[in-house]
Amino acid sequence: MSPSSPPASPPDVGVLVPAAGRGERAGEGAPKQFRAIAGVPMLLRSIRPFAQHPRVRTIVIALPADAAADPPAWLAPVLGERLRVVAGGATRAASVRAALAALEPACQIVLVHDAARPFVSPAEIDGVIAAAERGAGALAAIPVSDTLKRSADGRLVAQTAPREGLWRALTPQGFPRALLERAYRAAGDALDATDDAGIVEALGAPVVLVPGRTTNIKVTTPEDFAMAEALARA
Ligand code: CTP
Ligand code: MG
């Protein structure tokens, strides 16, 4: 092998996909992660870039308990050696914890990616893996670009808040496995965190920002579904 083509790194990355939520803000119908965006279920869109990534060894999806016992038919063709399903918990953190517990020991780098983000890019995945391999926690993130207002009652503006230094946290987020496990152990059970980087930050461990893409949206509301349809067809 020539010096310009170093041996490929082994597939040692584990990906945890919390997909056990009820999607209450998305309105009527099936839980949002099972709904189609331009014909393809959102969960399938969210896991595909990882399933196709050469560094990814295993993907563990946390599903609602009933779906974990009887996974959707469209998941069957991708369920195999690289994809596992577990029952999630009552909170996102409980779902991540359940998926982490089911991850095979060979995965020493762990990524977490929300089932509600169907447009993650390979560059974001690469950036987060690279930072986690250097020993830090890492997350895809975007600098806040809007002017921020604070309001006590949701009607009257109390203050314009400075946006300097503020970033929006996306997923994927990535960690050396031992760091993520230590953070979840230290956090105990009463965990309502909405992201994993926050749990690691609470340990005092370094977490770095990786440039994210504005197309890596989180589908939360019915309006977001309309945006997602447009992005999928673009
Ligand atoms: N999630 C999970 N287990 C839970 C709650 C959330 O695995 N008990 C997952 C969701 O399925 C989603 C991700 O965490 O992929 C981010 O959560 P969010 O966007 O808030 O989804 P939901 O909790 O399903 O939506 P809502 O808060 O509107 O009910
Ligand atoms: Mg939620």
| Digit-coded pLDDT (tens) for 56-96 | 999 999 999 999 999 999 998 887 878 999 999 999 999 99
**Structure confidence at residue 7 (pLDDT):** 60
Residue 21 CA: which ligand is closest? 1
Q: Is the CB of 116 under 6 A from ligand 1?
A: yes
Higher pLDDT, 194 or 45: 45
Indicate the top mutation candidate among 17, 22, 60 to test ligand 1's pocket, ranked by most ligand atoms within 8 A of CB.
22
Q: Is the CB of 25 under 6 A from ligand 1?
A: yes
User: 1 falls in which pLDDT band (50, 70, 90)?
Assistant: very low
Q: Is the CB of 83 under 6 A from ligand 1?
A: no
Residue 98 CA: which ligand is closest? 1
Atom of ligand 1 nearest to the CA of 25: 28
Position 11 pLDDT exceeds 50: yes
- What predicted TM-score, i.e. pTM, was given to this entire model? 0.95
Query: Mind listing the pLDDT tens digit for each residue in 83-135?
Result: 999 999 999 999 999 999 999 999 999 999 999 999 999 999 999 999 999 99
**Two structure tokens written together for 201:** 């930050």
Alpha-carbon distances, residue 106 vs 109, 114, 117, 185 (angstroms): 9, 22, 26, 20
Query: Mind listing the pLDDT tens digit for each residue in 156-190?
Result: 999 999 999 999 999 999 999 999 999 999 998 76
Atom of ligand 1 nearest to the CA of 117: 15
Please give the share of the chain, as a percent, with pLDDT higher than 70. 97
Query: Mind listing the pLDDT tens digit for each residue in 21-32?
Result: 999 999 999 999
Can you give the chain as a three-state secondary structure string? Answer: CCCCCCCCCCCCEEEEEECCCCCHHHCCCCCHHHCEECCEEHHHHHHHHHHCCCCEEEEEEEECHHHHHCCCHHHCCCCECCEEEEECCCCHHHHHHHHHHCCCCCCCEEEECCCCCCCCCHHHHHHHHHHHHCCCEEEEEEECCCCEEECCCCCCCCEEECCCCCEEEEEEEEEEHHHHHHHHHHHCCCCCCCCHHHHHHCCCCCEEEEECCCCCCCCCCHHHHHHHHHHHHC
Q: Is the CB of 60 under 6 A from ligand 1?
A: no
Average pLDDT for residues 217-230, to the nearest whole number?
97
**Structure confidence at residue 6 (pLDDT):** 58
Q: CA-to-CA distance for 112 and 110, rounded, in angstroms?
A: 7
Residue 31 CA: which ligand is closest? 1
User: 3 falls in which pLDDT band (50, 70, 90)?
Assistant: low
**Structure confidence at residue 9 (pLDDT):** 81
